């Protein structure tokens, strides 16, 4: 179960490895300085985390909570979960095999190889890579680290919200969270637990949670668009679905054009080089898809930076 107790336990477990995880900065800006009519915008700079994304929290928590077989660990990932798993595995001295889809950028594959991971292209989409990964796991007996749908992974992601609350001594009024398979929003929503409005943001080309809400249950969706490499899950995870029904206020969709514009804005104005998935919060505010109250404090998660720097400007 992913709840505040599990997240607190994950925090204690991760604290045993202070040489690995980083406490990422919280940048607090006036809404007006960003051209937004709200009190403040908080940017949680999780793209500065080990491995370049929030995923390091959940993957290390998964490894520390389990006995690792001699065959090591295995994961299917668009890139970020694989990078985080590979980094955690190397820090613990264990083997790591990563199955990636064809849409994963070469920059992410190169990063995986630099972390001593074995990289296998498992199919055109994340779903196909996952199936190939599961078949391989049955052969080797390696510990499976899921990109988003395991309790330890979601709880580890939730430590991000716990850390943000500690840094600011309170939660923001609302938190806008990018959603792919849903591990991040599951952890954040479980920690906030109604104490802040949690809003799910998805690209129009990968609306997993939005489609699930419309159907009343998780359903498969077609996946494409600018953020498909990291938000390219075909279906919302079971954990995220369960948590979101209790603690996620709304789901909003963003166009590729607004995401790309926000990504460029973050670099041009704040010199923050992030991948498209990390720009959905700014896109929601700048496009007017999410309209905060004038007195509202809005928290955004800059969730990852594993992209080719040449594509940011």
- Residue 230, pLDDT score: 79
Mean pLDDT (whole number) for 80-87: 92
- For residue 306, the model assigns a pLDDT of 79
Indicate if the pLDDT at residue 310 is higher than 80.
Answer: no
Average the pLDDT over 233-240 and give the result. 94
Residue 84 has pLDDT above 90, yes or no: yes
**pLDDT confidence of 273, banded at 50, 70, 90?**
very high
In whole angstroms, give the CA distance from residue 176 to residue 298: 7
Q: Which of 181, 173, 304 is nearest to 249 (CA)?
A: 173
Calculate mean pLDDT across residues 93-121.
91
Q: Tell whether the model's pLDDT for residue 165 goes beyond 90.
A: yes
pLDDT at 309 over 90: no
Round the average pLDDT of the chain to a whole number and report it.
94
Closest CA to 105 of 87, 83, 90, 84: 83
More confident call, 305 vs 284: 284
Cα 52 to Cα 170, 280, 288, 312, distances in angstroms: 26, 17, 28, 15
Confidence band, pLDDT 50/70/90 cuts, at residue 162: very high
The rounded distance, in Å, linking the Cα atoms of 212 and 49 is 30
Q: What is the mean pLDDT of residues 49-56?
A: 94
Q: Does the structure show a pLDDT above 80 at 219?
A: yes
Going by their DSSP bridges, the two strands 73-76 and 197-203 should be labelled as unpaired
Going by C-alpha positions, the residue among 76, 81, 82 that lies closest to residue 116 is 82
What is the average pLDDT across 147-169? 97
Structure confidence by residue, pLDDT tens digits, 69-83: 999 999 998 778 899
Q: What percent of the chain has pLDDT over 70?
A: 100
pLDDT for 118:
96
CA-to-CA dists, residue 54 to 113, 159, 210, angstroms: 20, 10, 22
Mean pLDDT within 7-26: 95
Structure confidence at residue 87 (pLDDT): 95
Q: What is the mean pLDDT of residues 54-63?
A: 97
Check residue 216 and give its pLDDT. 97
Share of the chain above pLDDT 90, in %: 83
Query: Which residues in 92-103 are b (16+ Cβ under 10 Å) and which e?
Result: bebbbbbbbbeb
Instruction: Report pTM.
Output: 0.94
- 75, 63 in Cβ contact below 8 A? no
Average confidence (pLDDT) over 163-173: 98
Confidence of residue 108 (pLDDT cuts 50, 70, 90): confident
User: Do residues 176 and 281 touch, judged by C-beta distance below 8 A?
Assistant: yes
Helix axes 208-215, 238-247, angle to 10 degrees: 70
pLDDT over 80 at 313, yes or no = no
Q: In whole angstroms, give the CA distance from residue 127 to residue 55.
A: 18
Half-sphere exposure of 5 (CA within 13 A, CB side): 1
Which of 66, 231, 228 lies closest to 145, judged by CA?
Answer: 66
Could you tell me how many residues make up the chain?
Answer: 313
Residues 211, 126: Cα–Cα separation, whole Å? 18
- CA separation (Å) from 236 to 123, 183, 184? 19, 9, 12
């Amino acid at each position: 179960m992913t709840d505040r107790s599990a997240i607190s336990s994950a925090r204690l477990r991760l604290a045993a490895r202070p040489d690995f995880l980083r406490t990422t900065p919280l940048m607090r800006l006036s809404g007006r300085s960003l051209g937004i009519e709200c009190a403040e915008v908080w940017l949680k700079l999780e793209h500065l985390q080990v491995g370049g994304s929030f995923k390091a929290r959940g993957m290390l928590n998964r490894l520390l909570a389990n006995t690792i077989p001699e065959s090591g660990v295995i994961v299917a990932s668009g890139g970020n979960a694989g990078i985080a798993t590979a980094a955690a595995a190397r820090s613990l001295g264990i083997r790591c095999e990563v199955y990636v889809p064809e849409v994963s950028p070469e920059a992410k594959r190169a990063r995986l190889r630099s972390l001593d991971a074995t990289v296998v292209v498992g199919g055109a989409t994340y779903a196909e890579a996952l199936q190939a990964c599961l078949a391989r796991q049955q052969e080797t007996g390696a510990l499976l680290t899921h990109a988003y749908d395991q309790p330890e992974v979601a709880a580890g992601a939730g430590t991000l919200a716990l850390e943000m609350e500690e840094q600011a001594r309170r939660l923001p009024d609302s938190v806008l969270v990018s959603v792919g398979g849903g591990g991040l929003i599951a952890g954040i929503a479980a920690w906030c637990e109604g104490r802040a409005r949690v809003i799910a943001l998805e690209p129009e080309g990968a609306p997993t949670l939005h489609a699930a809400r419309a159907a009343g249950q998780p359903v498969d969706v077609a996946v494409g668009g600018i953020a498909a490499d990291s938000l390219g899950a075909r279906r919302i995870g079971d954990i995220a679905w369960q948590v979101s029904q209790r603690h996620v206020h709304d789901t909003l969709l963003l166009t590729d054009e607004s995401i790309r514009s926000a990504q460029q804005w973050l670099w041009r104005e704040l010199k923050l080089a992030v991948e498209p998935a990390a720009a959905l919060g700014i896109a929601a505010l700048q496009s007017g898809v999410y309209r905060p109250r004038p007195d509202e404090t809005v928290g955004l998660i800059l969730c990852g930076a594993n992209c080719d720097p040449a594509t940011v400007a």
